[in-house]
Amino acid sequence: MPFVIGIDTSTTATKAILVDPSGAVLRVGASTYDYQSPHPRWSEQDPALWWEATVDAIRTATSGIDPAEVVAIGLTGQMHGLVLLDENADVVRPAILWNDQRTAAECDEIRSRVGATRLIHVTGNDALTGFTAPKILWVRNNEPAAFARARHVLLPKDYVRLKLTGDYATDRADGGGTLLFDHASRTWSQEIVSKLDLDAALLPPTFEGPDITGGLTPEASAATGLAVGTPVVAGGGDQAASAVGTGAIDPGVVTVSLGTSGVVFAATDRPSFEPAGRVHAFPHAVPDRWHLMGVMLSAAGSYRWFRDVVAPDFDFARLDDAAAAVEPGSDGLLFLPYLSGERSPHPDPNARGGFVGLTVRHELSHMSRAVLEGVAFGLADILDLMVAAGIDRPGAVRISGGGAKSPLWRQIIADVFEVTVETVNASEGAAYGAAILAAVGSEWYVTGQAAAEAWIKVTGTTTPSGASDRYRGLHRIYRDLYPALKPTFTALST
C-alpha cells in the first residue's frame, strides 16, 4: 500500500503522520523540544532540534513498513521564523521565532522605507514584530558580523527541507508571511526587497504547495530510513496547511483554530487585504487561492494560564463544568485575552490582559466562563474585520484545536458568532494538510480541493442558542475596552 507523510515543525514539537490513500492516519510520530528566551521578549531556537526531531518522528511513524511505500512527503511548520545560513549551509545564529518581539524599531524602519500604505498594498500586511523581514533587518542592525556571513534565508520548515533534499525552496503561503512577498503575484516583491536594501539572492525559489521541490538525498535516506529520491512537496505554512487539513480551500469556508493562539481563517479566490493591515493577507497553500487570517496570541493559552494560576488542581473538564453553571455574560464580568500582547484585531505588543467588572459576587465559575467568552469576543472581532475586507459572512465555521474539544466553548462561539460551528474528522491539524498536499503531488488527486472533499467530513454541529442577544450587547462593551485602556497598557510597558 502506498503512503504519504505529513511533517509539522511546530514551536515545541515535530510531528510526522503516515496517511493511506483513503485519508486514514495510520501512525503518528512526535518528538518534543524547547525554545530559549535569552532576553525579555526574545524567542530563539536551534534549527538542529528540528532535524533531530524530524528524523525521530519519521522513524516512529514509519516503523514496520517498507520505505519504498512512502511515495511523497509534505512539509508544514511554524511561520515567520528567521533561519540564516552561510555559504556552506551552516546555521549563522539561532533561529528567531514567530513569537519574538524584539523588532519594533525595524517595523518602523520598514514603514519609513516603503511607506505604510504602500507596504500593505503590496504585501497585504502591516509590519509586525513577528514577521520575518523585521528580523532580517534586526540582525543587520544589531549583529553585523552574523549578517555579513549570511548567504541564505529560510523559514523553519524549509530548513528541514534542506536537510531532506539539499534544496533551497519555500512555498508561497509561507513566503507570504515574510513581509517580502508581492501578495497579488505570489512571489518575492522586487520593490520591497530593493527598498529594504536586501540582496534578493538571499531568498529561495518559491513553489505552489503541491509542487515537488526535490527528493531525499542519500544522507537523509540513511537518517530517516526512507528511500533515496522520495519526493518532497513544497507544503505550506502551518495556518494555511491547517486550513487545507480542515477543507478551508474555496471561498465561503471559514475556520477557527483554538490552540495556544487563536486563528480565524477565510479562503478567497482573489488577492484582498484589510486596508489598515489589522488582519493578515497571504497566498494559500494551493494554486489560485489566497486567504485572510487573524491571529489572537492567547486563545486556549488564556484558558491554560487561568487554570495554571487560579485553579491548578482543576482539569479543563472541571473548569468547563463550573463555567457552564453560570449564565451567559458571566454576571457582568469581561475578560481581555491580551496576555501576550496582541496581533489581531489590535497589533499591539504592549496590550495587556485583564478582568473588567469584578465584584464580590464573582467566583471561580464566573471567571472561567468570562475567559471563554472573552476569547470568543476577540475572535469575533477578527471575523468582523474580514467581512469588512470583503468576505461574505459565513453561515458556518469549522473549528479545530485543543479548545474545540470543549462543548461549552463551541456553544459560546456559536452564540457570539451567530453561526453554526462544525467539527470535522481530521484531528492532526497542519500535518494532515501537509499530507493532503503530498497526496496531490503524488497525483492521487488532481487538486487539493478534490483531496479535501474525499478525506474530510463534518462530524458534528453546534447551533446558536438564545444567548446571542445577550452576547451582542456585551460584545459592544468589550470592543470599547481596548481603545479606553490602550494609554494604560502603553504606560505600564514603559
CB 226 within 8 A of CB 244: no
Alpha-carbon torsion (241, 244, 248, 254), positive or negative: negative
Question: How many residues in the chain?
Answer: 494
**Rounded Cα distance, 283 and 240, in Å:** 9
In terms of Cα–Cα distance, which of 460, 462, 440 is closest to 451? 440
DSSP-assigned letters across all residues of 181-201: EETTTTEE-HHHHHHTT--GG
Using a 10 angstrom Cβ sphere, with 0-12 exposed, 13-18 middle and 19 or more buried, the burial of residue 271 is middle
DSSP state of 448: H
User: Which residues have CB under 8 Å from 409's CB, separation 6+?
Assistant: 258, 320, 372, 376, 403
**Rounded Cα distance, 250 and 299, in Å:** 26
**Rounded Cα distance, 112 and 2, in Å:** 52
Which residue bears the cell 533531530? Answer: 52
Q: Pairing state of beta strands 420-424 and 396-400? A: parallel
Q: What angle do CA 348, 101, 53 make, to 5 degrees?
A: 130
**Rounded Cα distance, 262 and 147, in Å:** 33
Using alpha carbons only, how large is the chain's radius of gyration in Å? 22
**Rounded Cα distance, 169 and 155, in Å:** 9
- Residue 4's H or E segment, with its range, is strand 3-9
**Rounded Cα distance, 193 and 146, in Å:** 19
- Residue 124's H or E segment, with its range, is none
Catalytic residue list? 238
Give CA separation, 18 vs 59, 76, 411, in Å.
11, 14, 33
CB 418 within 8 A of CB 276: no
Which residue bears the cell 497598557? Answer: 489
User: b/e map of 144-162 (b: 16 or more CB within 10 Å)?
Assistant: eeebebbbbbbbbbbbbbb
Task: Give CA torsion, residues 195, 198, 204, 207, to 10 deg.
Answer: -10
**Rounded Cα distance, 390 and 206, in Å:** 27
